[in-house]
Every structure is written in C-alpha cells, then in structure tokens.
Structure 1
C-alpha cells in the first residue's frame, strides 16, 4: 500500500556589505587631499563593522536561519481529529531479506494502519502493500470513508502485533505468524460519540510478504476472529 509528507527555512540577509561599500566611497581622497594611510582606512572599516553588528545586522556567514519548528502534534479527542500527526518512519530492517526484516515490515504496516485510523491518510499503507491485498483494501475503504465528509473521525489507542515469527523465508517470499491486538477506539461525528470498538485479541494471524525492489512488500494479511 503505497505511501507518507518538508519546509524551506527563511533567510535574513543583512545589508552590512552595502554599508561597507558606501563607507569606502565616502572616505575616498578629494582632489587636494593627501591619501589616508592604511591605519586610518582600517580604523574606518572596523568602526563600520562594529556599527553594523550593534544595529543587529548579520553577515552572509551568520545568516544561516534555523529551520522552523515542526508543528506540535495534537491527539484526537471529542474536540476534533488528530492534527499534525507524524507519519510513521520506515525502519531500516525492512530492507533486509531475512525473517526479521519481514517482521519489521509487518510491524510498520500496523503503524501505517494506526496512522490511517487517526488521519484518514492511506498513502503510507499503500506504499508498502500490494494492490492485491484484500485486507488492506477493506481497511482503507472503511477508514478513509469515515474521514471523507470532514465531520467524522476516530480517537484510538493504536493497534499492535505480538509473538511474531517467520515460518519460512525462501526465494523472496516470507510467511509471518503473529498475534494482533486491535486497540480501543471511539468514533465521533461533530464531537458527538457514535460508538466504541476494539480492545480485541486475535491469536491466529498470518501475513505473506514478498521481497521486491530491495525491501519487503505486504501481499496479504489474514486475521482470524477469536471463537465465541
């Protein structure tokens, strides 16, 4: 499921260089004057530099503006959906053609699911999932549909996986067995609670992943509901 998501700092350029140039022109010799000595010129230029520094002007070397701070993430609540929520970062392990690499990608997939539930953005999930993944399609259709009107959203504690192990890694294909916990969530409409869900454990789950273009790609995930 391919997805993810970067600012240019403003620069302040001081006018000190122009002030120095103008100062040199104003202290040039007249027709009947003797040229000023090196000592006098150096003193004048030093004074101008000091004046520029005291007036708060900055040179090109000091004009390296610091980047703007990232907006503070705001969690979802009855007041509104999550804002400025950070997109999950892809871990380095997903590029390793090993069982651990496949598990790392599956864990990252769950993080993109949590991100989708809080934002309605399914791009990060599709960046790491096959378009043939049926569970991925079902999850994205349901969750993006909630956010489509702009007056519905989720508050969620987040889902996770546990006890994951790769049963087979051969010829670029890996199967991972795992337990899935669906985090508790609340659905809202314009601040009014519509319902709650989640808080369930799924013990028998399996994922198939393929190693494609140097990293793992989620092909399918099967989650079997608990009996009863």
Structure 2
C-alpha cells in the first residue's frame, strides 16, 4: 500500500402472489350454488432469483458483482481481538476499493488525518475515474500475524504490528494492458504498524506505516 504508483492516464423479484376470493352465489330459485374450482395461476407461484456470480477482474474485463466487505461484529468491540478484526476488515475494504474503484467502505473507517489512509483512498479514486474503461487485475492486500495490545482507554490511539502481504496489480483497458500498466501495484511482504482509536462504539484508522 505504501508508496504505490498512481496509474498513468485516467485510471481513472419482487414476487407478487395473487389471492383468489371465492364467494357463494345465490341462484334465481333461492338455492346456493357451490363455487367452481379454480385452477391456480402460474403467476401466483413466487419467483426466485439467483444472485449474480462474483467475478474477479481479468485481462479481458473488470471485476463484476463483487460482494462488498461486511464489518464483523467482533470488529466493533473495544478489545484486542476486536482491534485485530478491525485491521483485517480495513484491508478487505481497501482491496475491494482497488478492485472496484469504490472507496466508500474504507473511507468510512479512516480518519481524515491518516496520511497512509489518504494514499490508499487517492489510489482507489484514480482507479475509479477510469470506470469500466480501465481496471486493476490483482492488487489485493492482507494483514497477517497481527499483534495488538491495548494501552490506555477508549479515545486513545492503539497500535498494532503485523505483516502486510501485497499482491501485484496490473492495469488494463479495453484494448489490453495499458502503457506502463504492468506491476503498477507492487508485490511484496512488508512489516507494518497501524494505529486506530475507538470512540462511540467504533474503530477508526488514524495511521498506517511501514516499520523500519
């Protein structure tokens, strides 16, 4: 995530059920006739739909129907395990943004003053500007071996240390690999540290940086 080059150019059933109302009809002779049986309408059967299959980006086209990241309940706790779960989610959200150009999930859990977060958000924004004309193949990030120790109370910055696994990402367009688009996101394993504060029942990233 740290120091990634910006892309060149503009990397930029409802089913409705029918109800049949049957009523008795009085005949001219005062007798009551039984209602005739009705054949159920085929339209009364509830329709079902299958969610579209998620597809990762390939050199032939951008990602489609990816499932957005979901903040786990554990990541809402003020605990060491909650802190770890939050960090894992943060990088899932960042990876989703790189794949789709949608930075909303990671921005919601990042403080405006977090410079490392801003670099990721700017990169996602640049990717998103390309719409369906340019996209990234690869570029995922994953936090592993997280060590999180709480010090102080809520509202104070907490620091975690971990290994960040970055996967190479290439930039493609409708005509193929973009000029200079190979390995625009670098592959690597980096020792990282991550600060976040916990307030009002939620974590917020405040700093991300490589460890010396």
TM-score (norm 1): 0.76
- Supply the distance in 2 between the matched residues of 1:73 and 1:165 (Cα, whole angstroms): 32
Q: Does 1:162 align with 2:154?
A: no
SS of residue in 2 equivalent to 1:86: coil
Q: 2:64 aligns with which of 71, 83, 86?
A: 83
Choose 89-98 or 181-190, whichever is displaced more.
181-190
Say which of 84, 91, 108 aligns to 1:127.
108
1:220 aligns with 2:207: yes
> 1:144 maps to which residue?
125
1 CA distance for matches of 2:77 and 2:17?
46
Highest Rg: 1 or 2?
1
Q: Which residue of 2 aligns with 1:181?
A: 165
Q: Which residue of 2 aligns with 1:199?
A: 187
Q: Which structure 2 segments of 5+ residues have no match?
A: 1-12
Q: Is the 8 A contact 1:74 1:85 kept in 2?
A: yes
- What does the per-residue CA deviation read over 1:31-86, in whole Å, with 9 as the maximum and x for residues that have no partner? xx2424xxxx4xx23x42xx233x5464xxxx6x3553322212101111101111
* Paired residues of 1:167 and 1:177 also in contact (CA < 8 A): no
Question: What is the CA distance between 1:138 and its match in structure 2?
Answer: 0.9
CA contact (8 A) 1:160 1:181 kept: yes
Report the structure, 1 or 2, having the larger helix content: 1
In the alignment of these two chains, the number of paired residues is 193
Cα 1:14–1:80 shift into 2, 3 Å: same
> What root-mean-square deviation, in Å, do the aligned CA atoms of Structure 1 and Structure 2 show?
2.1
The 4+ residue runs of structure 1 with deviation greater than 3 A are 55-58, 65-68
TM-score (norm 2): 0.82
Match of 1:4 in 2: none
Separation in 2, partners of 1:130, 1:177: 19
- SS of the aligned residue for 2:124 comes to helix
| Bigger RCO of structures 1 and 2 (CA < 8 A, at least 6 apart) | 2
Structure 1 partner of 2:84: 103
Gaps of 5+ in 1: 1-8
